[in-house]
Structure 1
Amino acid sequence: MIERDGLGAAARGLRQYLLAVAAKLDAPAWFCEVDVPAGAYLALERRLGRFPDHEVALLWDERDGWAVAVESPSGEDLVVLAYLGEDVLPAPDAVVAFVRECYADGYPGQPDPPGFRRPGAPDGFDDRLAAFSGDGVRLPEAHS
């Protein structure tokens, strides 16, 4: 379980992982929540051609991994368009490729949540996150 004080290696790793993705996408803003279930929101500057009137965001959570979403017409909710679906913690370059394909009017990923894991489960997820913390631990291989 991610340490709730936000100071543990898993929480630091999550922040570093998200920062790496945000930097590669030049995201103007991002937010992460380290409590279980952990999640994140990255604002994307460009709008999708098929949704020109809606803000676009990249979402991540520890159950389903990455998803591209647009604001609902009311602007109060986010509507997920596609889930990356490869892994809950894919390489940042895989996330970037997913986003680029969405902007190219492709239909990457999958429409349904993949449900990779149960939040808070003792399944090695925290160790995978901790590997991104910069604490001298080698990054793990992606799991399918």
Structure 2
Amino acid sequence: MIERDGLGAAARGLRQYLLAVAAELAAPAWFCEVDAPATAYLALERRLPRFPDHETALLWDERDGWAAAVESAGGEDMVVLTYLGGDVLPPPAEVVAFVRDLYGDSYPGQPDPPDFRRPGAPDGFDERLAGYAGDDVCLPEGQA
């Protein structure tokens, strides 16, 4: 289970993983929560041609992985359009390709939540996250 105090290797790894994805996408803002289930939000600069009046973002959680979403009409909620699928922690380059395809002519990913795992399950997830922690200094959330 992710050490929810934010100081454990898995929590640091989650932040480093998200920082890597945000840097690859030149995301203007991002944040994450390590509370169960761990979640993240990455704002995207461009709006989708199909939804020109709605902000676009990537959402991530430890159950379903990455999803592309747009803000609701009221601007209070995010509406998921598609899930990347494949893996809860895909390489950052795979997330970048998903976003590139999102802005293309096709709908990448899958319409239904992948439901990869249950938060807290002893399935090696925390160890995978810890692998991203390395010895790098973790920048404060949202700063690249």
Are the aligned partners of 1:9 and 1:135 in contact in 2 as well (CA < 8 Å)? no
Aligned mates of 1:98, 1:88 — CA distance in 2: 14
Letter in 2 for 1:87: D
Aligned mates of 2:11, 2:105 — CA distance in 1: 34
Letter in 2 for 1:2: I
Q: Describe the superposition over 1:103-143 as per-residue Cα deviations: whole angstroms up to 9, x where unpaired.
A: 1132000000000000111111000000000149xxxxxxx
Determine if the alignment matches structure 1 residue 52 to structure 2 residue 52. Answer: yes
Aligned mates of 1:135, 1:25 — CA distance in 2: 23
Determine if the alignment matches structure 1 residue 11 to structure 2 residue 47. Answer: no
Q: Residue in 2 aligned with 1:84?
A: 84
Determine if the alignment matches structure 1 residue 25 to structure 2 residue 12. Answer: no
Aligned mates of 1:74, 1:111 — CA distance in 2: 23
Q: What are the equivalent positions in structure 2 for 1:104-119 lying under 5 Å apart?
A: 104-119=104-119
Q: Residue in 1 aligned with 2:103?
A: 103
Q: Which runs of 4+ in 1 moved over 3 A?
A: none
Are the aligned partners of 1:32 and 1:39 in contact in 2 as well (CA < 8 Å)? yes
Aligned mates of 1:36, 1:123 — CA distance in 2: 15
Please state whether the residue corresponding to 1:131 is helix, strand or coil: helix
Q: Residue in 2 aligned with 1:94?
A: 94
Aligned mates of 1:125, 1:91 — CA distance in 2: 14
The percentage of counterpart residues that share the same residue type is 82
Count residues in correspondence.
136
Letter in 2 for 1:24: E
Please state whether the residue corresponding to 1:41 is helix, strand or coil: strand
Quote the offset at 1:2 in angstroms. 0.6
Please state whether the residue corresponding to 2:108 is helix, strand or coil: coil
Q: Residue in 1 aligned with 2:67?
A: 67
Letter in 2 for 1:84: L
Q: Residue in 1 aligned with 2:142?
A: none
Are the aligned partners of 1:85 and 1:110 in contact in 2 as well (CA < 8 Å)? yes
TM-score (norm 1): 0.92
Q: Describe the superposition over 1:63-113 as per-residue Cα deviations: whole angstroms up to 9, x where unpaired.
A: 000000000111011100000001000000000000110011320000000
Are the aligned partners of 1:16 and 1:132 in contact in 2 as well (CA < 8 Å)? yes
Please state whether the residue corresponding to 1:129 is helix, strand or coil: helix
Unaligned ranges ≥5, structure 2: 137-144
